[in-house]
Every structure is written in structure tokens, then in C-alpha cells.
Structure 1
Amino acid sequence: MSARKPLLWVGSSKKDLKQFPADVQDVFGHALDLAQSGKKHPDAKPLKGFGGAGILELIEDFNTNTYRAAYTVRFGSAIYVLHCFQKKSTSGIRTAQCDIDLIRMRLQAAQDHAKGSGND
């Protein structure tokens, strides 16, 4: 049994998640809990545009709204929650560019943090 990895929240991701309906928080919380134990939630899928499975996305529909959380398992020392948001776009399933940009920016911050922590 491997040790649980710490969960690190980048930017406002934790505050944003706390705004979600309780049911959505429960699903995302469970998925992140699994990630900390080295497992993958069945609904966690690689986020497109990030080359491979380093960034995972959770999608949960609730009361006609769609909620998403993006996190990375790419850095061995911790699970970094990059972004939690309510999907606003009505045009298909694509993630809005502004959200992709924010995830990319926070991924860089997580990468810098992981490098600086010295235990990776």
C-alpha cells in the first residue's frame, strides 16, 4: 500500500469547488480521494489538448448545469487541482479557451512548485 499523496489546490480551485452543489462536491471529492491513493475514478478522462493523460478532467452534470474539475497526477509528489469551474458554453462539449488558458497557466505554477519542493 503506497502512501497517499497530498492534495494541493492551485489558485482559486478549492474556493471554486466549494461553490458547487453538495452532490457535485461529493463526486469530485471522491475522485480526488482515489487519485491521492494512486487510483483513477472511472469518470476521470484525459483533458484534450494537453498531450496524454497527465491532466485529468472530471465532468458532472447537475440540474442542467455542467461542472468540471481539472487536476494533474503528472508530478510524483502530489495531486494538483488546477481548476474547478461551471461550464458556461452552450456550444458542444469543448472546454472554453479561457478555461484551457487558466489550466495551462496553473499547470505551469504546479510544475514550478513540484520542482521547488525537492521531493520529486
Structure 2
Amino acid sequence: MKPVHWLGDSRRAVSRFPVLARSLVGHQLYRVQCGLDPADWKPMPTIGQGVRELRVHAGGEWRLIYLATRPEAVYVLHAFGKKTRRTAREDVALAVERLKLVEAGRRR
């Protein structure tokens, strides 16, 4: 099972989700750690290769953007609640910046 590396404030953001959403995110993230797909996800190629969005529907729309293609860990790039159909530019930009940090760390 891969460890989870939380980037920026993503862990704190998940802790602010409602209890049911947190529980569902935790269960789905565990599946990812075990090498399985979460129940509801979509690829996020605009952020980077291999980046996915885990989607949770529990009293609102909750998202976790992660990268699980690296052999050493699952990287949680960003977590947030959604109010519209499209992912906000700010959320995409933040995930892109955090992905760059992951990639820079691998080059060292």
C-alpha cells in the first residue's frame, strides 16, 4: 500500500469537509492507496499526465485532485468543494503548481 503525501493545505481542506464527505474521501483514497480506482473519478489532463479528480457527492460536491502513478506514494495535490459544473481556474492553477513541486522533488 502506498503512503499518502498531502501537499499544501489539502489535508486541512479535507478536514473541513462534512463528516460524511470526509468518510467517503477516506474510503476512496484508501482504494487508491491499494492500487484500485475510486468509485467516481475523472482524468485531469489539463493539470498533468496521470492526474485524476476523485469525486464525492455527499451534501454537496467535494473533490480531491491526486496523482497515483508514481511508485513511491499517492500525492494529494488539492481538495475543495465545488459549487459549479466547471472546476475553477484557481483550483486548477493551484494543482498545477503543486504538481510541479512533486516533479521537482523527483528530479533531485
TM-score by length of 1: 0.81
**What one-letter code is carried by the residue in structure 2 that aligns with 1:67?**
W
Structure 1 segments of 4+ aligned residues over 3 angstroms from their partners? none
- Is it true that 1:102 corresponds to 2:94 in the alignment? yes
Quote the residue 2:39 is aligned against. 42
Quote the residue 2:79 is aligned against. 84
- Using the aligned pairs only, state the percent identity: 34
TM-score by length of 2: 0.89
Alpha-carbon distance, 1:74 to partner: 2.6
Q: Which has the larger radius of gyration?
A: 1
- Alignment match of 1:111 (pick from 92, 103, 107): 103
Alpha-carbon distance, 1:51 to partner: 5.5
Quote the residue 1:71 is aligned against. 66
- Is it true that 1:5 corresponds to 2:2 in the alignment? yes
Residue ranges of structure 2 left out of the alignment (5+ in a row)? none
**What one-letter code is carried by the residue in structure 2 that aligns with 1:59?**
R
Alpha-carbon distance, 1:48 to partner: 4.6
Note the aligned Cα RMSD (angstroms).
1.6
The count of aligned residue pairs is: 108
